[in-house]
Amino acid sequence: MTADVFVIAEAGVNHNGSLDIAKDLVDLAADAGADAVKFQTFSADALALESAELADYQRLSEEDARSQHDLLRGLELTRDEFRALRTHCDQRGIRFLSTAFDLDGLDFLIDELGIPLVKIASGDLTYAPLLVKAGRSGLPVILSTGMADLSEIARALRFLAAGLAQAHGSLDRAERLTEAALERAWAARDAHVNFAEHVTILHCTTEYPAEDEHLNLRAMQTIATTFGHRVGYSDHSLGSLASVLAVGLGATVLEKHFTFDVTADGPDHAASLDPDGLRAYVADLRRVPTMLGSSEKRAQSVEEGNRAVVRRSLVAARDIAAGAVVTDDDVACFRPATGRTSFDFWEVVGGAAPRAYRRGELIDD
């Protein structure tokens, strides 16, 4: 990850089950300058019961009677297609990421595709076996927290710490993960890594698209203060403003859906950026850290030449005799600031003139 902001272009399932479209999305993300492009690796059979209903945002219309299983089945990519995507990302020089929604999928992404980090979706923040396996991988983890409160985030972090403890042998893999075991793992979370840097927590509002009044961006700062972890933002709002604000509030990772057609059928297209929007989004985010600068308040180098031009000097408003007591009416403040600073107005007024001044002459003694 870069020191400033890591931009994940979320292709998700906006390929609608087509490898060709998925590759084109990789190209778009790479051309836009994103750090990574992310997909979703799942099996409908392992993710949802056939009786699971669609969320409102997933429905094509009020009459849409499909199940989640039906929807997901049409959005799957095969393992071979994911291998091809991984290769294409390498060829385009962009990091390949994918969110796994089951244990086998996570093994596949880690062992075969060599993902550099594990992303946990908001919906799986309570999926303890997946959290433990993610922790056990030893890879950095990005944890998305849509729909969650602080107590749920705290519990998810403990399962990640338990997996990490198992990976390093400080917690037996056969041990049941009781509260006592989780607390032991939590106490040892920094034994092998800096856990606060190892796990980045993303604030998120799980709605597509999410309206302004539901974004609650300040919650990201609450997460950072409460847990001491690096934070980021998974942005489901329209446009780029929320993400730009999030960087200003401390986000180090940004995630945003994108597509070729925001009107296409599919659960995420309507809340996604179009190609021009993605390019502008990445460009805007790249500017933000530079704009934020440091916390030091000082004159910038580009301002130095303007100081003398726009600030003021003390000037004799009329002739002043040497030794005369200087009054308010004797002194004025005019540009340029090449004489005595006008901060010294009352240092001069009320004192004796050290020499004679002619009207309009800079007071520089």
**Closest by alpha carbon to 179, among 199, 165, 153, 159?**
159
Helix, strand, or coil (residue 101): coil
φ and ψ at residue 355, rounded to 5 degrees: -160, 180
Beta partners for residue 98, in sequence order: 39
CA distance 354 to 279: 64
CA distance 325 to 360: 18
**Closest by alpha carbon to 211, among 245, 235, 180?**
235
What pLDDT was estimated at residue 1?
36
Q: Where along the chain do its domains lie?
A: 6-292, 301-348
What pLDDT was estimated at residue 219?
98
What pLDDT was estimated at residue 365?
84
CA distance 256 to 243: 9
Assign domain 6-292 to a CATH class: alpha beta
SS3 content of the chain, % helix, strand, coil (to 5): 40, 15, 40
What pLDDT was estimated at residue 60?
66
Q: What is the pLDDT along the chain (365 residues), one digit of tens a residue?
A: 335 899 999 999 999 999 999 999 999 999 999 999 999 998 878 788 877 777 766 666 666 667 777 777 778 999 999 999 999 999 999 999 999 999 999 999 999 999 999 999 999 999 999 999 999 999 999 999 999 999 999 999 999 999 999 999 999 999 999 999 999 999 999 999 999 999 999 999 999 999 999 999 999 999 999 999 999 999 999 999 999 999 999 999 999 999 999 999 888 898 999 999 999 999 999 999 999 998 899 999 999 999 999 999 999 999 999 999 999 999 999 999 999 999 999 999 999 999 999 999 999 88
Whole-prediction pTM: 0.89
Beta partners for residue 325, in sequence order: 352
Q: How far is CA 216 from the centre of its chain?
A: 14
Beta 331-334 vs 313-316: how paired, if at all? antiparallel
